Chain A
Amino acid sequence: MKRSWFFVPVLAGLLLGGSLVAQNKAVPTKIGYIDAEKVVQAYPTYKNIKDIQTQAQNELKPLQDKLTPLQAKIQSGSATAKDQQDYQVMLKAYQEAAKKWQDKSQAALKPITEAIDKVISTVAQQQGFAMIFDKKVAASSGLVVYADESLDLTEAVIKALPK
């Protein structure tokens, strides 16, 4: 009978230990990564961004085609005063057009990236990930030298995107 007392603390210890383990499980510790570019391109309204980019190219290309020969002329020192003036006017037009399209593209991209960020956090929480890296930044910065493929959440995030 006396012996049974020894079992009580052991049992309590086990129960306590068990509850601590259960608590630990709730804190996510996994680190995953995604190919953010791929996710953005998989977004249903991404074609709007591509349309904007195409329109921008269509408007900017002719301006660039006029600028390039003038620039060459100026560099070689054979530009007339009129050439110089044309160059300045055209450069201003080019920069303004480029800025206009950049703003448009950014405005269209913003709701997409915001929606994607939400999907990423949902997927991360569901699958118990504590932190998600951008694959490209992680690799090109030289920070991540090895990553297990099981941590790639790109496909899971793409599946969870709005249709």
Chain B
Amino acid sequence: MAQNKSVPTEVGYVDSDLLLQAHPGFSKVKEIQGQAQAELNPLREQLQSLEAKSRAGNLSAKEQQDFQSLSKAYQDTLNRWQDKEDAVLGPITDQVNQAIAKTAQEQGFALVLDKRVAGTSGLVVYADASLDLTDAVVKAMPK
């Protein structure tokens, strides 16, 4: 019995998106996303107009070539920004996960679910608001 009492049994949940956004380093991620959009948007616009022409069947040989090189440039740019974002987001995610584990252990939670996945998957159809650990985790995050 005494042993059983020390085993946590409660199930909680957190809003992971909100936690990431609450991390002090997240502004850097948003900055990268903004820069990526600024570089990708003009490329996408050019691609879209060529794509429309291509579907109508009136692309010249040169335009077809442009389309190919533009597609590649777009993909390369996208990959480059994605890598940059991942590099910044990786340590933030690790720290958020650590804050979740710390809060769960302190408050005796056995299992913590992601609110969005639990909800959108249709798996969890009811959860008491008292099980929401989001605010407690935000407080436990690095400042």
Residues of the A chain whose Cβ atoms lie less than 8 Å from the Cβ of B118: 143
Which one of A142, A147, A150 contacts B114 once the chains associate, using CB atoms below 8 Å? A142
Which one of B4, B110, B121 contacts A148 once the chains associate, using CB atoms below 8 Å? B110
CA distance A150 to B123 in the complex (A): 24
In the complex, the number of residue pairs spanning A and B with C-beta atoms less than 8 Å apart equals 53
Residues of the B chain whose Cβ atoms lie less than 8 Å from the Cβ of A144: 111-114
Q: Does B88 contact A (CB under 8 A)?
A: no
Question: Quick check: A145 and B114 within 8 Å, CB to CB?
Answer: yes
CA distance A142 to B100 in the complex (A): 14
Contact residues of A between 1 and 43, Cβ < 8 Å to B: 29-31
Question: Quick check: B110 and A143 within 8 Å, CB to CB?
Answer: no
Residues of the A chain whose Cβ atoms lie less than 8 Å from the Cβ of B113: 143-145
The main secondary structure of chain A at its interface with chain B is: mixed
Q: Does A115 contact B (CB under 8 A)?
A: no
Shortest CB distance B103–A (Å): 9
Q: Which chain B residue lies CB-closest to A130?
A: B9
Which one of A30, A141, A142 contacts B110 once the chains associate, using CB atoms below 8 Å? A30
Residues of the A chain whose Cβ atoms lie less than 8 Å from the Cβ of B105: 148
Contact residues of A between 107 and 163, Cβ < 8 Å to B: 128, 141-148, 150-151
| B102-143 interface code vs A (CB 8 A; 1 in, 0 out) | 001100011111100110010100000000000000000000
Contact residues of B between 1 and 33, Cβ < 8 Å to A: 4, 7-9, 11, 14, 16
Question: Quick check: A143 and B117 within 8 Å, CB to CB?
Answer: yes
Shortest CB distance A149–B (Å): 10
The main secondary structure of chain B at its interface with chain A is: mixed
Question: Quick check: A142 and B117 within 8 Å, CB to CB?
Answer: yes
Q: Place the interface of chain A in its size category.
A: 10 to 19
CA distance A128 to B4 in the complex (A): 10
Question: Quick check: A147 and B100 within 8 Å, CB to CB?
Answer: no
Residues of the A chain whose Cβ atoms lie less than 8 Å from the Cβ of B110: 30-31, 147-148, 150-151
CA distance A128 to B5 in the complex (A): 13
Question: Quick check: B14 and A145 within 8 Å, CB to CB?
Answer: yes
In the assembled complex, 21 residue pairs joining A and B whose CB atoms fall closer than 8 Å, in A order, are A30-B7, A30-B9, A30-B110, A142-B117, A143-B113, A143-B114, A143-B118, A144-B113, A144-B114, A145-B97, A145-B100, A145-B114, A146-B101, A146-B104, A146-B109, A146-B111, A148-B7, A148-B8, A150-B7, A150-B8, A151-B110
Given contacts A144-B113, A150-B8, A151-B111, 20 further A-B contacts (CB under 8 A): A31-B110, A142-B117, A143-B114, A143-B118, A143-B121, A143-B123, A144-B111, A145-B97, A146-B100, A146-B101, A146-B104, A146-B109, A147-B110, A147-B111, A147-B112, A148-B7, A148-B109, A148-B110, A150-B110, A151-B110
